[in-house]
Amino acid sequence: MNKENLAFWDKTLPLKLMEAIKEPQKWGEVLETIMRITGAKAAIITLRDKQTCQIVNDVELEEKFHSPLIRGFTTEAIVHYLTNLRTIDPWAEFQRTYYPHRPVQMSTVCPKDSVEDQRFFEWLSELGFNDTIVFELDRMSGYWTAINLFLESPTSSEARRALDFANEYYDLIRNAWVTSQALTKTRQSSAALMGRAAGAGSPICIAGANGELLESNEHFDAFLQSGAIRLSGSKRKISFANAVNIIGLEQWEQHEFLRHDAEMPPVVLLASPLDPDPIFAGKRERLWLLTCTSKGSEARAAIEARPDLDTLTRQERALYGGIAEGHSVEQAGSALGLKRSRSFEVWSSVKTKLGIRSAHQLRQ
């Protein structure tokens, strides 16, 4: 590759990494870009534990094996490896044992001639590969994720270029991968939160700092038909009927929501702060979890009737309000994004502070 083309792909790599942070499936394009820069003939993102090596890209393989991404290998070659060679792969064994932190050229730490069983190397050679550069993407207890770049020759200019590239871009690529995985977990957590609330029968949504609707479950979408809440504009900004009482709003700094008139029974809406993205904690405005109920007048009266509610934390007060409406402890906690065990822990604290023995006593 000439210098002009190399400069182009050097500039392209950060852009591809940014895309992959937002959309994990784009990591395949990151691998392709790395192959263009280094001259590597194939690349795989592997997940290794103490037992095995897992590499996958195709739907039929995902049903049996764990994820990552792969370029430069046919599906048949990967199936053969996973079926016949994975447990005798000496390079995988080395990586599982030592978890190399910085980029490593495998032929220098685990030479082909030092291994008695040559089946893995014979398979690799048949595919036109004789070496690999490996470098870490992430590690956690029991697991290690890495990129493997496959080369035609250990002594080629591509091998030197690949190792130099890995050392130069290691931190950038690793940080992008960690960020991408954290964002993926955030999205999965949000989806799980919506699912738990739907199972409890609660209309729930996640709103941005300025009141724009970001996500909602099917119960909330149905709740929109009541007229209590409307969406306006291309940003789907939330408008509340004047009959909607919002609990927890005092913690929402930007809460000048749109209001509208609607003939309807009183409605209570519980607003709880939500920080689903640990990467930008304290750097971006928080999101808000909104839980709606049509049992508003009784719940509001129960919440405002007690002078000792100031002793409760925001979370405790929100749970108290949900239970006052008639929800079970589990349902009220699920609407706030709490696990069942945590819901009962918070409820126990509420009972202690308010001198309540049971939810039944609260609703009398």
- The CATH number that applies at residue 69 is 3.30.450.80
Q: Which of 11-15, 22-26, 119-123, 190-194 has the highest mean pLDDT?
A: 119-123
181 with 257, same domain: the answer is no
pTM of the model: 0.55
Q: Are residues 93 and 105 in the same domain?
A: yes
Per residue in 257-293, pLDDT (tens digit) is 778 887 766 677 777 777 655 545 555 677 788 887 6
Number of other residues whose CB lies within 10 A of the CB of residue 64: 10
Cβ neighbors of 360 (< 8 A, separation 6 or more) are none
> Residue 276 carries which DSSP code?
-
By percentage, how much of the chain surpasses pLDDT 70?
Answer: 74
Looking at residue 126, what DSSP letter applies?
H
Please check whether residues 149 and 197 belong to one and the same domain. Answer: no
Last residue of a domain, one of 157, 185, 213: 185
The tokens for 24 are 């994990």
Domain range for residue 272? 186-363
Where a domain ends, among 162, 185, 208? 185
134 and 283 belong to one structural domain: no
Q: Do residue 134 and residue 282 come from a single domain?
A: no
**What confidence score (pLDDT) does residue 81 get?**
87
Do 59 and 176 fall into the same domain? yes
3-state secondary structure 297-342: HHHHHHHHHCHHHHHCCHHHHHHHHHHHCCCCHHHHHHHCCCCHHH
Does 244 share its domain with 298?
yes
Q: 217 and 359 share a domain?
A: yes
Do 132 and 279 lie in one domain? The reply is no
In a shared domain, residues 73 and 147: yes
**Residue at which a domain ends, from 160, 185, 210:** 185
Q: Tell me the pLDDT tens digit for each residue of 199-224.
A: 666 788 888 878 888 888 888 887 78
Tally of domains within the chain? 2
